[in-house]
Structure 1
Amino acid sequence: MKNLVWLLFFPGFLCNLNPLRINPDSLVTWNGSCVVIPCQINQYMGALLSNISLLWYHQPFYDTNQSDYLGHLLYYIFTISGMYGTQVQSSPASRLEFVGNLQDNLETKDCSLKISQVRMEDNGIYGVKLFASYNRPVQLNKWFLNATINVAESPPDPKMDLNPKDIQEGWIRVTCFVPYHCPAEPLRLTISGLEKTRLSSQETTISNGMIQTVVNLEMTWEDHGKSLVCSLEEQNGLEISKSTMQLYVKYAPKDVRVIASPGMTIRAGETLSLECTRSSSNPEVYQYLWYKDDQLMFEWLKLKKIEFETEGDQHSGAYRCEAKNSVGSEKSEELRIDVQYAPRDVWLIASPGTSIHEGERLSLKCMLKSSTPEVSEYLWYKDDQVMDEWKNFKKIEFEAETDQHSGIYRCEAKNSFGTQKSEELVIDVQSHLHYSSSLPTSGYQRTTESGGPQSSPASPSTTKSVSSCDGRTLWEEFSFLRELPNQAGKPRTQFIHSCKELTSAVIHLTEKFRKALLQIRERTRPVPNEIKKQ
């Protein structure tokens, strides 16, 4: 029976029947710290164990001659009728402490051993031997189980774990932990390195051979590259060890902008350069998109920088770009490009037309296709002479008079980038001049041979066309003036006129000159038969 009982302890052989349990069975501690080997005694075959004796060994071994486990005995604990008895074999005794509870009525009994002020020589294997009876108190059974303690010269650095591990903007869970097997002498872990306003409250816990602290952290893109620090401290705040983790935060491109060179205002014909920039991006941008007046420009797809020669309204407008990476994208604000140029396609409009009658109202308007910036000045020309009185008027209006307003007109539009003139526009003001063979106007009086006044008001029946005077052409009508001898002190006057086209010089004779002409005509024309008959 003795041999059968010890077979239960060989590795892999009915190990589930061993009431002893050590978990974890590999412990980490460091020089000067403490360690508790967590040991439990469970029921065996469904029965409570009684009359328990425990022996703790350092570096145990199995002696085949004695068919028993032996080693350097550290601690011996036994119970007699529920009373404890202990025998400490190690020196100094103050470094060992039984921290368990072996009362008979406990279904699970605690057989843990604490070692304080750990030394490097404490490294190694520890074994516990259990003597106990069940069902039949007269028969004792024995079991054995071991554990390993690894003693380091200095405390281990805490480790940190992130959830999720792929950090993006938003909330993450940060866990800092370090192996620790001495809950009787608690330590604490503290996470620092970021603003406290974005850290949730921290609480350190010790369980299952691990001391850990957990915080929730709101990450922003500005946290990329910063460091989190986890510190292992004593209760008085003295730092024992620490570890640092550099944060790798993924985020979409930030502060995307369009940079224009040489500027947002440019002269037509100059080369414009537009570059899509961002202040930061993680990972890097892999695609750029361009928009003009909210329309996607496919020809500039994936280009970070674009250049083109500006032409005018075709390239003026609102530009924006969009930068993309594997996390997301961001669009820039609109940048308005103003391509400026001199006025284009200037022309004149005459209303009601280019051929009008004397006395009609003529309207001339200077038109143009486009101008950037707006036209700042208009100039007017008549027969290549600048009309200063019409300066800066886009539209002029006046009552047409034959010789004064007939002629060749042009307008010129100016802005800060240049000027352009319209084509010539010929305005022909046609005369309404009519007169009678006796009197040119109503109310005109002349003296006859008898000296009496005579009034000959004009009437439709006596009115002659300007192209005929008593059956003669105007050339014949005024040809006598060419034949008059020069008067003393008076120059000789000549008139040349075509009956087909009346020039403006004849239409606007002054009243005085017209009267003089009529007086000369009266003295030289033959007396009508009806007068002669008188």
Structure 2
Amino acid sequence: MVNVDLEGYIVLIGGRAILPCNVTKPNSDSSLVAVLWYHGDNKNPIYTLDARSGKPETMKHFASEHLRSRAFFNLTQPLSYLRLEPITEQDTGEYRCRVDFKRGRTINQNIFLNVIVPITKVIIYDDDKNIIKDVAGPFNEDSWVNLTCQSDRGNPPARVTWWKGSDLIDDSYHQSDKGNSINVFTFQVQRNNLMSIFTCRALNNNITSLIMQNVAIDMNLKPREIKLINAPSVMLTGTQYELICQSIGSRPSAKINWFKDGQLLTGLGESTSEDGSVTTAYLTFVPSVDDNGKKLTCSAVNDKFPDFFLEESLILKVNFVPILSLALGSSIQNKDIMEGSDVYFECNIQSSPPVNDIGWFYNEKKLESDNKQRISVNNSSLLIRNVGKVHSGKYQCWASNDIGKGSSDTVHLDVKYIPVCKSGQRIHYGVAKHEMAVIVCEVDADPSEVTFQWTFNSTLSHVYTDANLNLYNSVVASNKSEGDEEIKYTVDGLKSIATYTPKRPIDYGVLYCSASNRVGKQTEPCLYFVIPAGPPDSPENCTLTNITAHTLTIECNPGYSGGLEQTFHLEVYINASGKKRLINNLTSSEYPFFIANALPAGNLFHLVTYASNNRGRSPIVTINGNTLVAERWQTDYFEETVVSTSVLLLMGTVTTLIIVAIIVILIMKIRSDDDSRKDKSNLMNLSRISGNKQESTANCIDTCESNGKQLTGSLECIEDIWGPDLIASQLIDSSGFMTIPVLTGTVEAEIYECNSLSDQTNETLIGRHHHSHHHPLTGHHAHLIAPSHHHHLQQQQVQQSINQSTNTPIDTTFYGNHCHLTTTGF
């Protein structure tokens, strides 16, 4: 037997395989008996040709069951072959052709048939075994990705590779247990891999085409950039700003959040570009003072990367008007501030930009350093040394910068102080004897829990100091003794109301009201002057201040009130048929200011003004005035009318004075001889009055009664004549000059006439005294009618004597043997 190995054959599945078998007779006398085909290890032939008939057309062919019609042996010379068609994968293997001859050896011919089973597809899947058809992912940027490409089973096994474009990037494939070829491509995705195309190729022969599968790489991208757009470097409080934050490069689109010092803010919303890579967020922001120096942040985050974000921050610089807070020094907070202590204020200032000016207010008025008031201002601090009641009030600091001016809240400084008299009180109480005076004493004090004490002084002499208008006793006062008038009073908070009834002249004087609290006792008591009540003085300096066609305006200064509340009156008279007719009557309880209107134009009016109180009325004051002619009360006409009226009044006054002067001269001439004889006697009698009070009283009584004249209250002649506070201390000095009584205290009483102080004269010595100014300390006038026998004294000597005896500046005006004395203060 002869074995022959033939070259193998490669046939594509489904194709035709021609398996040759040489059937040439070894010699001429030999003949073919049979041809048998074996496949693999199968001992039974898969195909048999019975050639014993010798004729091809009668030869018998036998094929196995699995071949059936797919196999046919073609007996041709010199090379016969077994044709298999179509080829199946099972046809792969070694075939053996056995040729038997009638005479000769059997020949075995071996041939290997390699059936190519091409792959038909590849599949790509991820780590989760998800089959990827077109797009893989999305994968997070910078993550590691495994893409597996698997071919189906083929023969021979396929070669599976990964390509990017024309570049082979991975050829590391392996066979699975099932005969599949697998290539796992592992790589880290980068931003530039977005939508890149990777190709899996598979091939197991050089006959069929490549099997390929493309896959695009989808990715989730981190935000690449974030920025604040047009954010102002400086902001103003209360101003609205539109802030924009933009994120670039995120896939999917980023979410933008706004933060202020870590606190999440609510934005207006977002917009996204078409490709989703650009996100723009908006924020309406109104900065406040507290925002200055804080960090405003916009942050972009992709939800696919929870641990990654980009942010852009801005340190806010917010400008605002200075904000100030004022506080007392820590050492004195929440404590009572006693007068005499030091007080420190600190003005805390918050400002952007820095302040360029600082100041202070006290009770809404500018406050500066004042050594006299012990106030020291040093920019944002204020020091008050030895604080007192005068320093109580509202304090405030202010500061300004380039934006504006701001002020602190007011801080009320409450200084605890001893009681002091409340200003603006009524201090003069005019009452008659046996009439009860209700005197109200009010003090200011802190704390306001006070106790009161009342005392009385019937003062013989006082000295007033114009510098501070305080009253000081210079002579011992007559104290109240047992049985004298008792001062009864009640207390209502900071007010005490005393009732006091004078019964004698010495009961007129000064009531002292003094209060105490836990800080201390009042150092200067409140003084209330109890004086005899009388009618008021006439209004003074009355002038016409405005004249129109139908209106006359008159204004006066109030005269002395007589110790009581006074009312001012104006009566307007018009000349009608030679008679005066009252056409208007006005009153005022506050001030002598009157507007008489609805008057007929171009007429002369007599304006009569006076004052009244419960004790009577003052002498009248008359002023004449003309209303302007209608339609002609322009400025030039008004001036002309006033000048004309004034000239007429002046001429009338001068004429009257001349006539009076002539009459007085004639009377004085007639009586001059008698006056000279009586001069000495009267002066001696008057000098005795300057002794002690009882002696002066007796002399006055004797002198007055010896001439048949009765004085009111004859037992207290001096008091009834001069009043409790006006004492006739000396009338005639050693040189024979007339001296004027010391005018002390509050001059309130009226001095009545005491005629003929000696048997030798019936001339009037002392006339009526007028207190004609409303202020208790200034503007006193004494109108003395001197006896005719003093007329020979030089006016200069009289003036000198007056000034020496009173020790007070007094102006003296002489009218014949009258002199008018005016002093500006006692």
Q: Determine if the TM-score, normalized by the shorter chain, exceeds 0.5.
A: no
- Give the structure with higher Rg (CA): 2
Query: TM-score, with normalisation over the residues of structure 1?
Result: 0.42
* Higher RCO (CA-CA < 8 Å; seq separation 6+): 1
Q: Scaled by the length of structure 2, what TM-score is found?
A: 0.30
